[in-house]
Structure 1
Amino acid sequence: MTDATTESTPVEPFSPGLRRAIGVVMIGASLSFLDTTIVNVAVHSLAHDLHAGLDSVQWVVTAYLLALAAVIPVTGWATRRVGAARLYVAALAVFTVGSVLCACSPNLGTLIAARAVQGIGGGAIMPVGTIIWTAHATKQQMGKVIAFLAIPIILAPALGPVLGGLLITGIGWQAIFWLNVPFGILGILLVFQLLPMEKGGDAGRFDVPGLILASLGIVGLTYGLAELGTAGGPDTASVMGLVVGLLALAGFVLHALRTRRPLLDIRLYRTGAFTAASVATFALGAANYGGMILMPLYLQTVRGEGVVIAGLLVAPTAIGALLSAPFTDKWGAGITSLTGAAILAVATIPFLFLTATTSYWLLCAVMVVRGIGFGLSIIPSMTAAYQAIRPEQIPDATPQLNVLQRVGGAIGTTVLTVVLTGRLRHQATTAQQAGGFATTFWWVLGITIIATIPTIALARTERRDRPRT
């Protein structure tokens, strides 16, 4: 059951072991999330330098996502088998080697293969890192820890385009991959220095059918969504990917229910609080990350700003999210998440009236408020999910929550990209293009309102489970 006493019980100070775990995991989390956004701004440069079309270069992004999606389901079992710290070192090492291979790639095919290697390491970093710090934290401390670790999640969409633009303009696209190398090495050294290298134990028989079905399902959905966004609408490849993904996931659910030790324990969803928190994490991922993609595109397409200036102008979102951090665990996770979703919806309304001359000051102010809603919504929902389960269930829950958040973000991003592409297809003037963005923000508002529904369920579950005094 949800630990509802969090809002009234003082949070004890972090232990030295927890502080060390947070410091180590922060490095890996920053690399994983920053790399996802920083590469997006390099697509045009890669197409020019590698003499390839944008449809081919898009695979640099897609290959990373597919590898990342395929490896996440294995992390729970692998952690039990080899030990969390050892697996975390391996993930950082693979990610760092993949970054070197990317920077040294002489052609597009090699770069795509190197990005897949990088994705294998990147996919394991966050799930394993979460398992590391949860081993040192009490349920009452989880809200504050997640608020710390959410900083790279919050800053990545704002800093990625700015940093990527500066590196590409000043040095070249290879620099965005070389940037990972010193931080990856530092992270590995800190793990050896600060964390006990505990050996693994009996993880049980490896669930090969479960791996095949789960990976095929997640990769199929990820590929289908990526292809849907690239094509600007449904085509044969995207539909086939989505159908295969959904069928494989349905098969995995049936398999997991009949297997004594499945790869991922979906019986966790028998707990009402965990189910509500998981659905809220998925829905808020779609609302938050989907909405974030539009403003940089508006600033570059309608206002003619470069990637660096556009990145700086969306930074207020990160500022707002940071301002919300002290309040993410002051009240119950359910009511806080519901409040954040409501703020997010209200802060979307001004974007419905975008024009080609909307004041930058107004946009920045609204983005600060939207950032507050982002921080107050998604961080408490993740906290509630971990507070609803027993410590020994965390290795099973963590991969699932990571998948839900990333797939939710991918769905939101894809839906809005398709809608925006359709609205801009026949818009010639900047005024018409601004109207296309304003129309697309109606979809953002709709997705956000839908995302409030699971937060209401989470708040109701939290209130029901609260001990009566």
Structure 2
Amino acid sequence: MATPRVAPRAVTTHSALEVGAVMVAVEAAESRGAAPSRWLLIALAVGAFISMADATIVAVGLDPLVHHFGVPLSAGQEVLSVYLVAITATLPTLGRLGDRFGRRRVYLSGFAVFALGSAAAALAPSFGLLLTARAVQAVGGGVLTAGSLSLIAQWAPRGRTGRSVAVLVITQALAGLAGPPLGGILVAVGGWQAIFWAGLPMAAVGAGLALRFVPAGEERRTVRLDVAGSVLTATLLLGIGAGIASIGGPVVGTAGPEVWFSVAWVSLLLLVPTELIARRPVIDGRLLRNPRFAAATMATLLSTGTLMSCFAVLPFWLEQAHGTAPIVAGLAFVPIAVGIGVTSRSGGRLADSGRTRRATAAGMGLAAAGFACAAIAAHTDAWWLLLIGMLVLGLGNGFFSSPNTSAAIRVAPRDALGSAAAFLSTARNAGVIIGLAVTGAVYTATVHGTSSADGVATGTFAVAALVCLLVAALTGRAYRST
């Protein structure tokens, strides 16, 4: 089965930036420099928005796209998959580039690479070249993802890290929701090519804001680049990501999961000795040896995976099993966005005041309660309870994400902020791939009618609730001394 498509959602691009602007009031300077200004946070939020929105913006343009190139819809799903897989595979290396050449400089280059990939995709004469252009876009998006988070960590005072991170968390969450409706407008106006042409003005605006408001004058760091380790890490993550994504059907070409998992296994066998002898390995051991950072990374992967399991099941279940119109199924996601927007700032404040453990435990507890409500709704057809569950799920993720991310950033060495941001972003994208691919494959393989669809949805939501409780226990143990 191809990677599940994402149903349209009624959230706009403008709303994401408005939320970012409203949430950013910071004052007074600390030893690390002035608190980040509103415009600095907006400049970084634009990069975070672009990288996440582009993962989903093509969803509603797949039908005209596949007709143009004469490929089946299952092949068209590769346009979605290749972006997620490529960005996940390259993020660790891209984060290290910021530590080596300067985070502002590399962040600006991300807009240029993204614009190049966008233009190449719009002009692609063949489907294969379109996929290549999407991979280039993913590299640019990866630079923007890691760069925005590492620059926030660099310029935000320690007492404001949580609230500053909350801006990016909310922006990325809403960007994923805004992608499909924004793509629908662009397709209606200018065809599928308009989806990619729109990347150029967005990149230009982002680069202009970054040039104007992201502070200059940073020095290059003496961070060695581990080329061999970077390549092997990329092929390892590529193999894992593509293998999971192709469980229901090939991601690129005809290669199945066994081929991709073989690539991952060989890469791992070569990577271990390579990293042991490297003077500065791409996998920074200081990060992984820190129990708090390791716990935050694992919690990011699991929490994102549970959220994406909802994204994988909800539209198919509502549309195919109950005949719900796509626009109505899309509206079911709006309460999640509302919940995230309501609580993200509060979660950041709790983290800044030293209550990270309380915030993350409450967040995952709420997320578990939301999934439990959804499970009951799926079993009883109580649609009002489903909407309540989605709202509570959003509230929980808003409380959880900012404190969990800022806790990891706080313990990262100053010369490895880019690597730390890349690790967290890689975990988040891996959660997206796992949640969408595994849940979608299970749903497709086991559903044979309305009753079985209700049973699978009930089971999926119940398992997600248990995973959220596991994450609450994990972070509660890791953040006891926060």
SS of the residue 2:124 aligns to: coil
For 1:357 and 1:48, how far apart are their aligned partners in 2?
A: 40
The equivalent residue for 1:394 is 417
The equivalent residue for 1:327 is 346
For 1:438 and 1:373, how far apart are their aligned partners in 2?
A: 25
* Residue 394 (structure 2) aligned to one of 364, 371, 382: 371
- CA contact under 8 A between 1:278 and 1:404: conserved in structure 2? yes
In structure 2, the CA distance between the partners of 1:441 and 1:174, relative to structure 1 (3 Å rule), is: farther
The equivalent residue for 2:370 is 347
The equivalent residue for 2:213 is 194
1:418 aligns with 2:432: no
For 2:176 and 2:455, how far apart are their aligned partners in 1?
A: 21
* Cα offset, 1:295, TM superposition: 1.8
* Cα offset, 1:253, TM superposition: 4.8
The equivalent residue for 2:95 is 76
The equivalent residue for 2:51 is 32
Please list, as runs of the form range in 1=range in 2, the aligned pairs for 1:36-185 lying within 5 A after superposition: 36-185=55-204
* Cα offset, 1:148, TM superposition: 1.0
String of CA shifts for 1:215-262, please: whole Å, max 9, x gaps.
111111111122114369xx9721231243255346535543443311
1:269 aligns with 2:292: no
For 1:334 and 1:438, how far apart are their aligned partners in 2?
A: 34
* Residue 240 (structure 1) aligned to one of 247, 256, 259: 259
* Cα offset, 1:354, TM superposition: 4.8
In structure 2, the CA distance between the partners of 1:213 and 1:123, relative to structure 1 (3 Å rule), is: same
1:203 aligns with 2:222: yes
What's the TM-score, normalizing by structure 2? Answer: 0.85
Deviates more, 1:133-142 or 1:440-449: 440-449
* Cα offset, 1:348, TM superposition: 1.3
* Cα offset, 1:366, TM superposition: 2.3
- CA contact under 8 A between 1:27 and 1:187: conserved in structure 2? yes
For 2:49 and 2:340, how far apart are their aligned partners in 1?
A: 16
Deviates more, 1:453-462 or 1:134-143: 453-462
* Cα offset, 1:403, TM superposition: 0.9
Query: Which amino acid letter does the alignment assign opposite residue 237 of structure 1?
Result: G
* Cα offset, 1:205, TM superposition: 3.5
The equivalent residue for 2:299 is 280
* Cα offset, 1:382, TM superposition: 1.2
* Residue 457 (structure 2) aligned to one of 437, 440, 448: 440
In structure 2, the CA distance between the partners of 1:245 and 1:25, relative to structure 1 (3 Å rule), is: same
SS of the residue 1:206 aligns to: coil
String of CA shifts for 1:58-77, please: whole Å, max 9, x gaps.
22223323332333122233
**Cα RMSD between the aligned structures?**
2.6
For 2:40 and 2:75, how far apart are their aligned partners in 1?
A: 40
- CA contact under 8 A between 1:81 and 1:201: conserved in structure 2? yes
- CA contact under 8 A between 2:86 and 2:139: conserved in structure 1? yes
1:449 aligns with 2:466: yes
| Structure 2 unpaired stretches of 5+ | 1-25
In structure 2, the CA distance between the partners of 1:461 and 1:312, relative to structure 1 (3 Å rule), is: closer
The equivalent residue for 1:458 is 475
Query: Which amino acid letter does the alignment assign opposite residue 334 of structure 2?
Result: A
- CA contact under 8 A between 1:328 and 1:336: conserved in structure 2? yes
- CA contact under 8 A between 2:113 and 2:137: conserved in structure 1? yes
What's the TM-score, normalizing by structure 1? Answer: 0.87
* Cα offset, 1:18, TM superposition: 4.5
SS of the residue 1:293 aligns to: helix
String of CA shifts for 1:401-449, please: whole Å, max 9, x gaps.
111111122112211111110123x32xxx33xx414423423432442
* Cα offset, 1:170, TM superposition: 4.7
Query: Which amino acid letter does the alignment assign opposite residue 340 of structure 1?
Result: G
For 2:470 and 2:378, how far apart are their aligned partners in 1?
A: 31
* Cα offset, 1:307, TM superposition: 4.0
For 1:246 and 1:379, how far apart are their aligned partners in 2?
A: 34
In structure 2, the CA distance between the partners of 1:322 and 1:363, relative to structure 1 (3 Å rule), is: same
The equivalent residue for 2:314 is 295
For 1:164 and 1:438, how far apart are their aligned partners in 2?
A: 33
For 1:335 and 1:304, how far apart are their aligned partners in 2?
A: 41
In structure 2, the CA distance between the partners of 1:413 and 1:266, relative to structure 1 (3 Å rule), is: farther
For 1:383 and 1:250, how far apart are their aligned partners in 2?
A: 33
* Cα offset, 1:290, TM superposition: 2.2
* Cα offset, 1:55, TM superposition: 3.0
For 2:358 and 2:290, how far apart are their aligned partners in 1?
A: 19
* Cα offset, 1:12, TM superposition: 5.7
Deviates more, 1:208-217 or 1:448-457: 448-457
- CA contact under 8 A between 1:224 and 1:237: conserved in structure 2? yes
Query: Which amino acid letter does the alignment assign opposite residue 391 of structure 2?
Result: V
Question: What is the count of residue pairs matched by the alignment?
Answer: 447
